[in-house]
Amino acid sequence: MDYGPLIACQRAFFDEGRTLGLDFRRRQLDLLGQVISDREPDLLEALRADLGKPALEAYTSEIGFVLSDIDHARRRLRAWMRARAHRTPPIAWPGRSLSRPQPYGVALILGPWNYPFQLLFSPLVGALAAGNCVCLKPSEYAPHTSALIAEMLTGAFEPEHLLVIEGDADTARALLAERFDYIFFTGSTAVGREVMAAAARRTIPVTLELGGKSPCLVCADADPDLTARRILWGKCLNAGQTCAAPDYVLADRRIQPELLASFTAAYDRFFPDSPRSSPDLGRIVNHRHFDRLRGYLAQGRVILGGEHDADDLFLAPTVMTGVDPESPLMQEEIFGPILPVLTFDSLDSALEMLRRRPQPLALYIFTSDRATADRIVTRTSSGGVAINDTVSQIMGKNLPLGGIGESGLGSYRGRASFDTFTHYRSILRRGTAIDPGFRYPPSRVSLTTLKRVYRFLLGR
């Protein structure tokens, strides 16, 4: 698989400078929005076929999500493209300092299967807004969505500007061997390491949006009913196949009985008939992941849910207790609708447990005390934090989304997406009328004199 000629065509297109202007970028964003709106019914059906996504969930978390991103970027693009002025140190007077946003060039975006549309198109919006040419690689594990994306974009965009390449892991590796100017990857930590290693061989900058085990830390003063509802909602979204889904609960032992009772009450309200018949629950993506998740059910005591059907790839939202902290269930990212509930006796012991584990993409804190929340935030590390909620921190456009450590590198969403695909080029413009001679040899000042004025010359 030699994709070199295709990427070379994109680089030639970029070198012509056609992507640099405001009008061109806006037209491409408008076209992208129009294509998505025109194919909305087809996208809903593809997402249902790949993941069993209910129409309401598919629109809010995928299609409408991206359309909102497009509108946000289009309305703010002129401001984002402006150069930023910076203070010029006295040693360079008279002069002017600025940083000018410039696109990297040709960007590669590798998408995942869990949100096969949103997590491919949301970074695409930032890449196009920043003026790049883009090569998209959808996930082969969402084949209906992948094929539709290729069809709708290939028919609307010049491939020299926006190219879609379908394929499996070998296709991704072949693309990573090409000379791109930026790589954006969303997926597992293990594959993220491969992407980063491939990028390092060519010194290509990368953004890695990964995941990890995002914990819910529930303090004794939390509202158990509200906490249970919001955690269960975050766990049910996309059948738990969300990078920032609540992975497990770490609850103060004093509140655990009430919290478990509240989970049962919330469960009954969410699924008054049964989870199996609910129109609001998606399905597991494939049999490999289904079998992996089903194996977790034996690693603790199922107190809620647990029903499953391999033929339908259905796994009910499941709450478990009695889980060994060293079991695979607590060492691997679950990425499914299984929720282990563990307890702690003191907040210090809970914080120590969190610090011993890899930094997650999200930390969810449930407490009614602001000082306690601030203490937890200060004493822990994660990509992001939500206090008294789950998942909602990744939905806005003004709060960057990104991980740290094993949960990722870099961030995006809204202005952060534009910045991710932009190189801010530092420029110093010097005047020519005045050219003090003190900096040129031979030296005219002593070291003692230089020390006195040095801080002034470089600026405070």
Among the listed residues 135, 243, 333, 406, the single catalytic one is: 243
Q: Strand order in 362-366's β-sheet?
A: 301-304, 318-321, 338-344, 246-252, 214-218, 362-366, 384-387
Residue 240's CB is within 10 A of a number of other CB atoms, namely 24
CA torsion angle 52 53 56 61 (round to 10): 180
CA distance 287 to 400: 34
CA distance 289 to 279: 22
Whether omega for the bond prior to residue 90 falls within 30 degrees of 0, making it cis, is no
Whether residue 135 lies in the annotated active site: no
Residue 125's CB is within 10 A of a number of other CB atoms, namely 28
Cβ(112)–Cβ(105) below 8 Å: no
E strand or H helix that includes residue 363: strand 362-366
CA distance 455 to 139: 54
Q: Residue 209 has which token pair?
A: 């949006």
Among the listed residues 209, 216, 236, 333, the single catalytic one is: 209
CA distance 349 to 352: 5
CA distance 27 to 23: 6
Q: Residue 181 has which token pair?
A: 């100017």
Whether residue 219 lies in the annotated active site: no
Q: Which residues contact 137 (CB under 8 A, 6 or more apart)?
A: 108, 109, 110, 111, 164, 165, 166, 167, 171, 172, 175
Closest CA to 29 of 132, 98, 112, 168: 132
CA distance 220 to 126: 42
Sign for the CA dihedral angle at 233, 210, 341, 354 comes to negative
**Percentage helix, strand, coil for the chain under 3-state DSSP, each rounded to 5:** 45, 20, 35
CA distance 143 to 131: 29
Q: b/e string for 290-313 if b means 16 or more Cβ within 10 A?
A: beebbebbebbebebbbebeeeeb
Q: Which residues contact 327 (CB under 8 A, 6 or more apart)?
A: 299, 300
Q: Which residues are catalytic?
A: 209, 243
